[in-house]
Amino acid sequence: MDYVLTVLLPQLLHGLVFGAALGLLALGLTVIFGLLGVMNFAHGELYMLGAYAGIVVIGVTHSFWVALIAAPILVGIVAAVTEVATLRPIYRREPLYGLILTFGLALVFREGARQIWGGDMRRILPPFTGSTPLLGMTYPNYRLFLLAASSVILLALWLFFTRTRAGIVVRAAVQDAEMLDGLGVDVRRVFTLTFAASGALAALAGLLLAPVFTVYPQMGVEMILLAFIVVILGGMGSMGGSVVAAFVIGVAQSLFSLWMNPQRVAIAIFGIMIVVLIVRPRGLFGREGVLE
C-alpha cells in the first residue's frame, strides 16, 4: 500500500500533467493534418517559439500571465504568415512535399531561434512557487496548475468544437475537407486561421511547460516525435482521439519508467506505435481510409 501511495500514484500524476500539455500540442497537429492534409514537421518549433515568445513578453511586462495570452497570439501570427507564404502553394501537391517543406521550416525556425536567443538554456520562473504535501511527497504547485490549466483549455476547446457553429464547421471539415467548399466558406481563410490557431496552441503548450523543462532551441525536436505518436495512436483527424491518446502516452511513459530503465521507455512507446500502425493504422478513433 505504501508503494502505491509514495511511488505509483505520484508517477501517475506526473503522467497526467505531462499528458495534458502533450494533448494541447497534439491537438493542433491533428487538426492541421485533418484539415490541410499536411503533417507539420515544424509543429515542435512552434511549441519552442511559444516558450521564447514567453521569455520576450515576460522580459517586457514581467508578467507570466500576460505572456500566457500574448505569446500564443504572437506565434499564431508567425504561423499565419508562414502558412500563406509557404504552405498555400503546395496544398494541391502530394503530401510528401508538405513533409519536406515543413522539415525545412523547422530547420529555419530552430536555427533562427538559436541565433536570436543563443544556444544556452533559459529559465522561465514559474509564476508561483511552493508545493503541496500530496501522496507522500511534496508536489510542486506549478505542476498542479499545469494540469488544471491544460484541462480547462482542453475543455474550452471541446465546447468550442461541439457547441459553436464555427467549431462544428471546422470539426466537420477536419473529417472531410472538401465539404468546406460546398458550404460556401472561404476555404483559404479557414485554413490560415486554423493553422494559426494550431500554432497558438502549440505555443501555449510550450510556454506552460517551460518552467518545468526550461527553454532551449532543441526543445521542439524532442516533443515532435511524441506528438506524432499521439496523433497516430489517437487517429489522424480525430481530435478527441488525440487528447485521449496524449493522456494514455503520458501515463504510459510515466508508469513504464517505474518498471524499466527510464531511458528504455521510449523503446516501449515506439513499440506500441509500431504495433498500432501495423494492426490498426487508423488508431483508436480515426476514420477509415486515411492511411489504408
Indicate the residue among 109 and 191 with the shorter CB distance to other proteins. Answer: 109
- Write down the least CB distance from residue 281 to other proteins, Å: 6
247 vs 266: CA distance, rounded Å: 16
- Write down the least CB distance from residue 26 to other proteins, Å: 14
- Nearest Cα neighbor of 241 from 31, 12, 62, 15 is 31
- Write down the least CB distance from residue 156 to other proteins, Å: 26
Secondary structure (3-state) at 122? strand
- Write down the least CB distance from residue 48 to other proteins, Å: 12
- Write down the least CB distance from residue 84 to other proteins, Å: 13
- Nearest Cα neighbor of 205 from 163, 246, 257, 162 is 246
121 vs 275: CA distance, rounded Å: 36
Q: Are 239 and 161 in contact (CB under 8 A)?
A: yes
Computed on alpha carbons and rounded to an integer, the radius of gyration of the chain in Å comes to 19
Indicate the residue among 178 and 292 with the shorter CB distance to other proteins. Answer: 292
Indicate the residue among 193 and 266 with the shorter CB distance to other proteins. Answer: 266
Indicate the residue among 177 and 232 with the shorter CB distance to other proteins. Answer: 232
- Kindly report the number of other CB atoms within 10 A of residue 228's CB atom: 20
* Sequence-ordered list of residues with C-beta below 8 angstroms from that of 33, at least 6 positions apart, any chain: 39, 40, 231, 236, 237
β partners of residue 137: 134
Indicate the residue among 28 and 70 with the shorter CB distance to other proteins. Answer: 28
Indicate the residue among 163 and 261 with the shorter CB distance to other proteins. Answer: 261
- Write down the least CB distance from residue 150 to other proteins, Å: 15
Which helix or strand (DSSP H or E) is residue 276 part of? helix 265-279
